[in-house]
Amino acid sequence: MASISLRGVQKAYGDGTPVIRNVDLDIGENEFCVFLGPSGCGKSTLLRMIAGLEDVTDGDLAIDGAIVNDVPAAQRGVAMVFQSYALFPHMTVFENMAFGLKLAKTPKDEIERKVREAARILQLEALLERRPKALSGGQRQRVAIGRAIVREPGVFLFDEPLSNLDATLRGQTRVEIARLHKQFAKASVVYVTHDQIEAMTLADKIVLLYTGKDTERYGSIAQIGAPLELYRRPKSRFVAGFIGSPRMNFLPGKVASLDAQGVVVTLDHTGENVRVPVSGAGLQTAQPVTLGVRPEHLEFVDALAVAPATAATTVAASADSVLTRTVSLVEQLGEHSYVHLDQPGGAVLIAKAPGETRLAPGDRASLRVPRAVCHLFTEDGFAADALESVEHYA
């Protein structure tokens, strides 16, 4: 059982350019923490610093309250599972799993007991005498996980463990890792991935690393929070765009008015007004802003039943706004469809619709924009604060 704490942690390689900037982070005992971000954002570097495989350039890294900056990897009580499995090809599954224990001069009968127990948990019992080349990718990864389990570490570190598996195996192994974490609830897990579905489904806490437009912020944390917190309350346009698939729609506009009920935004190109329940603090009329709304939150309404909003319409504080657009493409996925609509100004607006939607390219459609799920971003990319008085995501 171990907690991890990072204070002002920095990392720079050769030419001095920071790869990790000023990271403050606490990972609690038993917590499943996922480092998320696209390739090159610094996730592995951060993980490898915790593992003791990379030096910390600046700041403090502590495990269970003790600073470990200069403690060798083998003495940190951590076990790492790599994307490439890193198994010894000439050893059997049993020998691979027993290797670390043997090095640590663990008594033979204890090795036997621990390896058999891990093999039972991972359903590898029938494969113990095989060599890695006679195993599938999923089985190899289970052996790599087994090798970590037998060491009974306080911290499990996973570096993109599912990347080499095909889609079905990835799904199965993901569920297995979630089940294992429950079984080994006393250990903390740090898990690196670029896949937001893995992050959303596995994490207690997601650490999303920044890779937006501002290169000065690369290697810093964009947001830390529970998966739904990042989904519901992204602090910036970068987080809003990274979490969720298809990604959030972003519509440029200007602040038309501000009051206690929120901010009314007039969209560029169409002049439609949308009320967003955010605090107007720091905003002023005519200021350029971006409205954010997810495809799954736009609701198709009968065009005849709801009059579309126009520039002249004032938007009541309690009313949802309505946008009218022309359908350009319908992607049918079975259970649901994604409808692409022309967005004046050249972009595309995507809205989720039922699988059996009759909408087709060329149709005009009206979309309700439920105000409780709207977001507003300023030009520097930060989100306006949601009004506490409005039940956000009720």
**What distance in Å separates the CA atoms of residue 3 and residue 260, rounded to the nearest whole number?**
43
338 Cβ contact partners less than 8 Å away, ≥ 6 residues apart:
246, 295, 330, 331, 350, 351, 352, 353
| Cβ distance to ligand ADP smaller for residue 40 or 100 | 40
Q: Closest separation between CB of residue 208 and ligand ADP, Å?
A: 11
In whole angstroms, how large is the CA radius of gyration of the chain?
Answer: 25
| Cβ distance to ligand ADP smaller for residue 42 or 146 | 42
| Cβ distance to ligand ADP smaller for residue 80 or 376 | 80
Region for 174 from its dihedrals, namely left if φ exceeds 0, alpha if ψ lies in -120 to 50, beta otherwise: alpha
- The DSSP H or E segment spanning 177 is helix 167-183
Q: With contact defined as beta carbons under 8 Å apart, do 123 and 138 qualify?
A: no
Q: With contact defined as beta carbons under 8 Å apart, do 216 and 18 qualify?
A: no
Q: With contact defined as beta carbons under 8 Å apart, do 316 and 277 qualify?
A: no
Q: Closest separation between CB of residue 217 and ligand ADP, Å?
A: 14
Q: Closest separation between CB of residue 209 and ligand ADP, Å?
A: 7
Q: Closest separation between CB of residue 195 and ligand ADP, Å?
A: 12
Among candidate residues 185, 195, 82, 193, the one with its CA nearest the CA of residue 141:
82
| Cβ distance to ligand ADP smaller for residue 40 or 212 | 40
| Cβ distance to ligand ADP smaller for residue 39 or 284 | 39
Q: What one-letter code names the amino acid at 89?
A: P
Q: Closest separation between CB of residue 45 and ligand ADP, Å?
A: 3
| Cβ distance to ligand ADP smaller for residue 215 or 310 | 215
Residues at the interface with ligand ADP (CB under 6 A)? 13-14, 19, 37, 39-45
- For residue 96, what are its two tokens? 């691979």
Q: Closest separation between CB of residue 74 and ligand ADP, Å?
A: 21
Among candidate residues 46, 33, 43, the one with its CA nearest the CA of residue 6:
46
**What distance in Å separates the CA atoms of residue 266 and residue 287, rounded to the nearest whole number?**
10
**What distance in Å separates the CA atoms of residue 339 and residue 162, rounded to the nearest whole number?**
31
| Cβ distance to ligand ADP smaller for residue 40 or 252 | 40
Q: What are the start-end ranges of the E strands in 76-226? A: 78-81, 155-159, 188-193, 205-209, 221-225
Q: Closest separation between CB of residue 181 and ligand ADP, Å?
A: 21
**What distance in Å separates the CA atoms of residue 184 and residue 179, rounded to the nearest whole number?**
9
Q: Closest separation between CB of residue 106 and ligand ADP, Å?
A: 32
CB atoms within 10 A of CB 28: 13
Q: Closest separation between CB of residue 48 and ligand ADP, Å?
A: 7
Q: Closest separation between CB of residue 13 and ligand ADP, Å?
A: 3
**What distance in Å separates the CA atoms of residue 100 and residue 154, rounded to the nearest whole number?**
15
| Cβ distance to ligand ADP smaller for residue 19 or 283 | 19
| Cβ distance to ligand ADP smaller for residue 132 or 219 | 219
| Cβ distance to ligand ADP smaller for residue 46 or 263 | 46
**Cα dihedral sign for 189, 49, 122, 165?**
positive
β-bridge mates for residue 149, sequence order: none
- Torsions phi, psi for 199 (to 5 deg): -65, -45
